Chain A
Amino acid sequence: MSQRAPAFPKTSARRPSAVWKVLTSTDHKSIGLTYMGVAAVFLVLGGLEALVMRLQLAVPGNRLLAGETYDRFLTMHGTTMIFFVLLPLLLGFTNYLLPLQIGARDMAFPRMNAFSLWLLVGGGLLLYLSPLTGAPSQGWFSYAPLSETPFTPQRGVDLWSAALIVGGYGTTLTAVNVLVTGARLRMRGMLYKRLPMFAWMSWINGFIILFALPCLTAVLLMLEVDRLLGAGLFTRGDPVLWQHYFWLFGHPEIYLLILPAWGLISEIIPVFSRKPIFGYEFVAWSTVAIAFLSFAVYAHHMFAVGLGWPVELAFGTTSMLIAIPTGIKVFNWLATMWKGSVRYTLPMLYAAAFIVQFTFGGVSGVTFAVVPIDWQLTDTYYVVAHFHYVLFGGSLFAVLAGLHYLYPKFTGRFLDERLGRWGFWLNVIGFNGVFLVQHLLGLMGMPRRVYTYPDLPGWGALNLFSTVSGFVLGVGLLLLLVNLIRSRTHGRLAGRDPWNGWTLEWLTDSPPQEGNFSQLPPLHSRRPLWDLKHPDDMDHVRPRRHDKNGHIREEERGHQ
């Protein structure tokens, strides 16, 4: 027997603590989960801010948060939710799932990946340090010249910019990582045209991030040149210039917050309808169309500026065009369920709620692309209702669907079903209660971003309803949080492939071992696990013919 002494004597080596592991890990799974954990903390903060704002708005003339105090909450809430909740949640899913779905061991640049994560966390910390120097109150969109020193002097605005610059670098680096991973680390046989839908959409998303975020970084630096060095780019120069840069970033930003969410939905609906995604090529290419168009619609945030009709018409047209590829997706999701065998699991319920709410938000979005309607409704509560329907009812609900879907993979255990259903219904009722009535408030003429409002007929009642629903929603999200924590130890064991899935992540352990896979199957189609499970009916053996008849397989075999 060989008697080699271990290089490091075991007795003295302390096992690294769990916290230390999380802090130092470069594993994409650990990083992905950390992103989600960080997002959860910020979700609690941003959610509490929202509830306090809703309390202030519960009755007309309320004095809980008068004037600028309300604006500070408004700014922190918006910035938190966009940059430190939705973004990290989606980056978390991308990190966790992309390598697994393409059969890779990790992201292309694991250390840079960890660096990106901690840059984002650093950004979040900077944002929440800003109250020490006077929390920013200029709004998350930070329009110049209101954001300039004469109007918003507190240093919190500078910390706010720093937070977004630092976090933004992290996100940009993540995009590089995602792009290289998707381009270089696909397993043998994983052609682009065979990428699972989530992998495809989050890869395309890398391009959006890569081109959009630098616009934000640039314009924030310009703001700081104004604020710290007194250059006056937006005061002596052009105040509208800010908006061009900001929305050239800001609109793609909205899409980069939805693409991975669509990806999740495009995984969940097929699995729980027991059919492949309908029209893969259409769903895939419409994503590319959206990525391009998302950079060509930004000025629809500026129809009231007075840009001139030719410009407004151009941007109105592109904004309407982008509704087409979006609609293609919705119809393909529906068609996926057609003649399927729908399982009413929690992920599927969330996905169904997503479709309804996202479509509602999409339709109200089209009303803004009709330029004259925008001239009436922009900057009213109608806008608040619209974008919460796409970002909360859309993105966040998709994330919740994804969370219920992948929790067994993350932890090896199911989320509790009863608690989950309660949470689901409270979330659906609460969400729609808060935001549906805000469409009416907007039509009544209530401006957005106001700390109070006159006691006009109906305004008080609808606002009160919205506030009460906000607390219902709060309880729903709280139940989810309890479920997430409790089920880690108490949940039913799930095993490798609890949903009878088709993509590679379901091939490996739950949670996956280090390096993800011990062995990968040969890959001939988009659904490697279907092929493994149905050796007599593999996808690639099937003639490449689209046919609506559900029993085509039987017939085709008969003809051979």
Chain B
Amino acid sequence: MSTYPVFSPASSLAQPITDLTRLTFWLGLGVFLIVALVLGYFMWRYRHRGADGEPGQVFGNTTDEVSWIVAAVLLVAFLLFMTVRVAAASSPATDTRTPDIYVVAHQWYWEFRTPDGAASSGELHIPAGQRVLLDLTSTDVIHDFSAPQLARKIDVIPGQHNRLWIEAAQPGTFSGVCNEFCGPEHAWMRFVVIAEPLAEYRAHQAVQAAAAALPSASNASAVRGAQVFGRVQCGACHQVRGQPSAFPHSGAVGPDLTHFASRRILAGGVLTNTPEHLRQWLRNTQDIKPGARMPTLPLSESEISDLSSYLEALK
């Protein structure tokens, strides 16, 4: 993760944009400096020095006008040419094949699904060194998928499926964020992209696609936690694939928790995923993320600690 993601591209898709941005900035700075310096010079050189009468009355000069219009036209034409070139390189046409990953935006977290059934939130895994095709849609309002080091940004619109190529040239961790105002918790709709060598990526995906392991009997707290999970009906909103049907899940309101413990951030990045933070989240959901579509649930301290043991066992 770098301070200026726009200037530290990590992909062949973002690189051309960075180059173009640099170029445009220098040209723009040049134009600005010309104007500012000429202004400063004229203000100083032609300041009133106490003389009477009026200076010579000059009404204009067509040659001057034409010359700066031509200069402006040339500059614009050049930028336009660069625009066309870079656009093709940084946002190549997407094809109609099955996408590699389905991105579903929710108020206010990101869900990433693969065709093999894996689901995660807040954390997007991709194989390094290859272009990955995303299909993006939203369940509620318009969001925007932005991982500036890896690709251009694109809006995520309910009822539409935008497609986007992303790529990380090398393995690494990159931050991403929602970039379209989507309501009160727009600030906490971040995600991380983790690019891994292909073998690691495949291993990770295999684990993610599998169902959750039941808590082992030796972990009494986790076993109790699973019962609390059923009793307070977390499953009304959250899915834990492979859990006994005593906890039916009816929808995808909240993030899939099947492999919860393997993830790095909680609730769109408002907290990092540690057991302590999880307990805070369960205790004070609406304080931590006011407006989040999850209520602060009436849980006792022991229930919270059991739930935490249970969720932390979902590797």
- Spell out A's residues near B (CB within 8 Å): 66-68, 70-71, 137, 139, 141, 143, 145-146, 151-152, 238-240, 273-276, 278-282, 304-306, 309, 312-313, 316-317, 320-321, 323-324, 327-328, 330-332, 334-335, 337-344, 352, 355-356, 359-360, 363-364, 366-367, 369-373, 375-380, 443-445, 447-454, 456-458, 534, 539, 542, 546-553
Contacts and interface: CB of A to CB of B under 8 A. Distances in A.
Given A240-B157, A323-B76, A546-B62, A330 B179 contact: no
Contact of A344 (B47, B57, B158): B47
A273 B182 CA distance: 49
Nearest to A72: B184
Contact of A320 (B25, B79, B144, B153): B79
Nearest to B55: A341
A145 B141 contact: yes
Contacts of B28: 363-364, 366-367
Interface stretch (B29-37, B229-237, B296-304): B29-37
Contacts of B158: 145, 239
Contacts of B186: 447, 449-451
Given A239-B157, A304-B180, A376 B91 contact: no
A531 B22 CA distance: 51
Interface stretch (B67-75, B196-204, B207-215): B67-75
A225 to B, nearest CB: 19
A328 B68 contact: yes
A443 B4 contact: yes
A280 B66 CA distance: 14
Interface stretch (B38-46, B98-106, B114-122, B220-228): B38-46
Nearest to B89: A372
Contact of B91 (A316, A366, A375, A452): A375
Given A341-B51, A344-B47, A553-B56, A146 B142 contact: yes
A428 B51 CA distance: 30
A400 to B, nearest CB: 18
Contact of B39 (A316, A356, A443, A539): A356
A139 B181 contact: yes
Given A321-B76, A341-B48, A451-B187, A331 B36 contact: no
A372 B17 CA distance: 6
Nearest to B28: A363
B21 interface: yes
B80 A320 contact: yes
Nearest to B7: A443
B5 A145 contact: no
The 4 A-B pairs at the shortest CB distance, nearest first, are namely A550-B56, A375-B152, A450-B187, A67-B184
Given A316-B80, A330-B35, A372 B87 contact: yes
Contact of B3 (A68, A240, A377, A458): A458
26 contacts: A68-B183, A68-B184, A146-B181, A151-B140, A276-B59, A280-B60, A304-B154, A304-B180, A327-B68, A338-B42, A338-B46, A340-B46, A342-B48, A359-B36, A367-B21, A367-B24, A373-B17, A373-B21, A373-B24, A375-B17, A375-B152, A375-B154, A379-B180, A445-B146, A449-B186, A548-B58
Contacts of B69: 324, 328
A29 to B, nearest CB: 30
Contacts of B5: 444-445
Contacts of B243: none
Nearest to A324: B72
A2 B80 CA distance: 81
